[in-house]
Structure 1
Amino acid sequence: MLYKLVVMGSSQVGKTALTAQLIGNCFIPDYDPTIEDSYRTQLVVDGEPCQLDILDTTGNEEYHALRQEFMRRGQGFLCVYAVDDVKSFVDVNIFRDQLRGIRDTDRVPLVLVANKTDKADCLVTRELGQEAAKSFKVPFVETSAKTGSGVERAFQELVREIRRFSVQELKHCRDAEHDQGCGFKPCKVM
């Protein structure tokens, strides 16, 4: 099955490094601003092989229109912040609010990712990340693109969220269909 994933977050949080670590098991130490790059890879999630179409996006505000487009196209979203950058953590709220506005729903498959956990100068604690994820009602994963820790788990968790979302949507549609019935009022036999 093909999953369209979007990696989003502020500039320099490690979105490209996370994607490169998943795709090629390598770390990219140099910062090179991304506008939009697309990658394909396979990943096994809960015993099932999955084809991932990953869109690595820009965090620059000047590309706001482009950001809206990728928020429309994605099935699921990794919202990434860096533990050594408080502003990137605060910006998670902006990305989430934009996503909810564009999709016109609070229910979007999303995983909150705390990246750069290998750094000694952690400014955003695990507890803050967990609290944010709990308030968003989404999973929380800590990663290090440098060491590879948690990277595969973050993408796997997003695939699981997409699957859960799909099951919930199907159930919601069936319930709505059942509540409406066939459109005819029942007849009474006298």
Structure 2
Amino acid sequence: MSQFPSSFLLVPIPESPGSDAPHNKIVKIVVLGGSSVGKTALVVRFLTKRFIGDYEANTGALYSRKFTIDGEQISLQVQDTPFVSLEDNSDGISCQEQINRSIYWADGFVFVYSITDYESYRVIRPLHQHIRKIHPNANMPLLLVANKGDLLRARQVPAGEGLRLAGELGGSYAEVSAREGSDGVHAAFQQLCQEVGRLAGGCPGEKRRGLHLARPKSPNMQDLKRRLKQALSSRARAPTAL
């Protein structure tokens, strides 16, 4: 079972090492997917239990918070990312270099698609293949999230297809609605954190052998204050679609 403090601030991870106590295990998760699937909404739901229906274009924010899972203190780092798209007339993907750096950095992966957008579902398989090229032999804890589960009348991706794809990729599957509640989102992310934590092993914060890429950049404080203000004022605004 996880334990989250009731009040906290999403904070950028310091660029200098040593911000985590030596006894804390570091769990690093990256959230990936197509355009307008609700990646940021899911991250905010998981970390704050709040829903924000309107976002500026995501430039890739990296957030950290500490919590206890299975009786162990964990330092969780969550990397939000810009969108991934299919290349024209091919099954390959087009993604920014920032996403590649995040893939190198992460220990666990959250793939997100919208049940109302079949193209976002089509991105997932080539995205997984792309990650496999970067980590050909790694054990990859993976969570496939079908978001916007509240928009059933607009569904384009049957739940069975999501389940089959998760099985094919060797990951777990959850259909959730970032808009309607935090319980399903929290349970899915928590399961992934537990799996990453079990597989982490070694010394806390130990990096993959041979990995010398810089960590993804944290958001600046102005961006962070704006996002926090959005979260705190979200309840006063009428909900809008993702």
1:5 is aligned with what amino acid? I
Give per-residue Cα distances to partners, 1:30-74, cap 9 Å, x unaligned.
142212101112344344442211000011456421211110000
In the alignment, structure 2 segments of 5+ residues that lack a partner are: 1-24, 86-93, 203-242
Determine helix, strand or coil for the equivalent of 1:7.
strand
Q: Which region of structure 1 is more displaced relative to structure 2, 108-117 or 60-69?
A: 60-69
Q: Offset at 1:97? A: 0.8
1:155 equivalent to 2:155? Answer no
Higher share in helix: 1
Alignment of 1:30-45 (within 5 A): 30-45=54-69
Quick one: which of 90, 98, 115 aligns to 1:83? 115
Change (3 A) 1:5 1:84: same
Instruction: Report the secondary structure of 2:124's partner residue.
Output: helix
Q: Is the 8 A contact 2:33 2:84 kept in 1?
A: no
Distance 1:46 1:84, change over 3 A: farther
Cα root mean square deviation, aligned: 2.0
Answering whether residue 76 of structure 2 is matched by residue 52 of structure 1, we say yes
Distance 1:155 1:49, change over 3 A: farther
* Alignment partner of 1:118 is 2:118: no
Q: 1:146 aligns with which of 175, 179, 191?
A: 179
User: Greater RCO between the two (CA within 8 Å, min separation 6)?
Assistant: 2
Equivalenced residue count is 168
The one of 12, 29, 44 aligned to 1:5? 29
Question: Which of 150, 161, 169 matches 1:128?
Answer: 161
Deviations 1:146-170 (A, max 9, x none): 1224111121121122134446x9x
For the pair shown, the structure with the greater C-alpha radius of gyration is: 1
Residue of structure 1 aligned with 2:44, choices 20, 25, 34: 20
User: Deviation of residue 3 (structure 1)?
Assistant: 0.6
TM-score normalised by the chain length of structure 2: 0.64
Secondary structure class of the residue paired with 2:188? helix
The TM-score, its normalising length taken from structure 1, stands at: 0.80
Q: SS in structure 2 opposite 1:57?
A: coil
Q: How far 1:107 sits from its partner (Å)?
A: 2.9
